[in-house]
Amino acid sequence: METGFCDLMTLLSGGFIPSEPDFKLKTMYEMADRAAPSDVFCKNRRYTGFAIACEQYFKRGLKVLDLHCFGGGLVFDFLLRGHKAIGLYPSHFFEQTGGGYWRILSKFLFSADAAKTFTIVDVDNAPQKFDVICAWDGLELLECNALQVLCENVKKHLSVSGLFMGAVPLSQGKDEAWWKSQFADFDFIEELPLTPEQLPKTTVELLFPFAAMLK
C-alpha cells in the first residue's frame, strides 16, 4: 500500500474514520458476470491530488462514490481528508484476501456490481446523493445494456451539482465520439473542470478522460 508515515500516524490516532459508516448498500448483485481486469493485483493506487482538486472545485465537504474501487486507495484518500466516501468492486477478491485497504476500510468498501441495480441509503434508509461518482476502470468491459444500467445508477445517485468522472481506453471501435454520444444518450452533459494533471494517472496511452453533469 502507498501509505506514508503521516497517513500511518493518522490511522493509529483513530480519528479519520467514523466508527460506523454513513451509508448502507442495498443490492442483490455482489458478483459480476464478466471478466475482471487482468491487472487486478496492481490496482491499489492512491489519488491524493485528485481528492485535493475536488476539494478546490466544490469548496466544501464531499460525498464520494467509487464504482470500481479495486483496493480502495481513492476511498482512503477522501476519508483521510475528512470526507464521506464509499467504494464498490464487482468481486469478492479484495474482500476475501484483505488486499489494499479492505481490512482498514471494511465498513466502507463493498463487493457489488455497479452495472446491476443497487441503492445506497443512509442509516435511516433515506436514498443518498453524491458529489463525486468515479469510474476509473471497467467501463470498457461493459456491454451496452450493462453500461445503460450503470449510467442509470449514476443518475440515481448523483447530486444536482455533482460530477461523474472517469476514464476509458479508446479501443474496440469505441472512440471518443462514441463515448460522448453514449453519455449524451444517458442525459449527461460534458463538463471537465479539472486539468489532466489533476486526474488519476494511468499507464494506458489512448485514454479518454471524462467528466459529466446531469442535464
Q: Cα(210)–Cα(97) distance, rounded to whole angstroms?
A: 31
Task: Provide the sign of the torsion angle of the four alpha carbons 95, 100, 104, 109, taken in this order.
Answer: negative
60 within domain boundaries: yes
Do residues 163 and 183 touch, judged by C-beta distance below 8 A? Answer: no
Q: pLDDT at residue 8 above 70?
A: no
Which residues, in sequence order, are CB contacts of 57 under 8 Å at separation 6+? 163, 193, 194
Task: Calculate the average pLDDT of the chain.
Answer: 82
155 within domain boundaries: yes
pLDDT tens digits, one per residue of 44-58: 677 889 999 999 999
16 within domain boundaries: no
Q: What is the CATH number of the domain that holds 56?
A: 3.40.50.150
pLDDT tens digits, one per residue of 141-175: 888 899 999 999 999 999 999 999 988 888 767 88
Would you say how long the chain is, in residues?
A: 215
Q: pLDDT at residue 40 above 50?
A: no
Phi, psi of 54 (to 5 degrees): -65, -40
Task: Provide the sign of the torsion angle of the four alpha carbons 123, 124, 130, 136, taken in this order.
Answer: positive
Angle, CA 32 vertex, CA 209 and CA 36 arms, to 5°: 55
pLDDT tens digits, one per residue of 171-196: 767 888 888 888 888 888 887 788 77
Other CB atoms within a 10 A radius of the CB of residue 106 amount to 13
17 within domain boundaries: no
Domain count, the chain: 1
18 within domain boundaries: no
195 within domain boundaries: yes
191 within domain boundaries: yes
Residues 88-104 as b or e (16 or more Cβ within 10 Å = b): bbbbebbbeeebbbbeb
Q: Cα(160)–Cα(130) distance, rounded to whole angstroms?
A: 9
Quote the pLDDT of residue 136.
83
pTM: 0.86
42 within domain boundaries: yes
Other CB atoms within a 10 A radius of the CB of residue 7 amount to 17
Mean local confidence (pLDDT), 67-91: 90
Q: pLDDT at residue 113 above 80?
A: yes
Quote the pLDDT of residue 42.
47
Enclosing domain of residue 160: 5-9+23-214
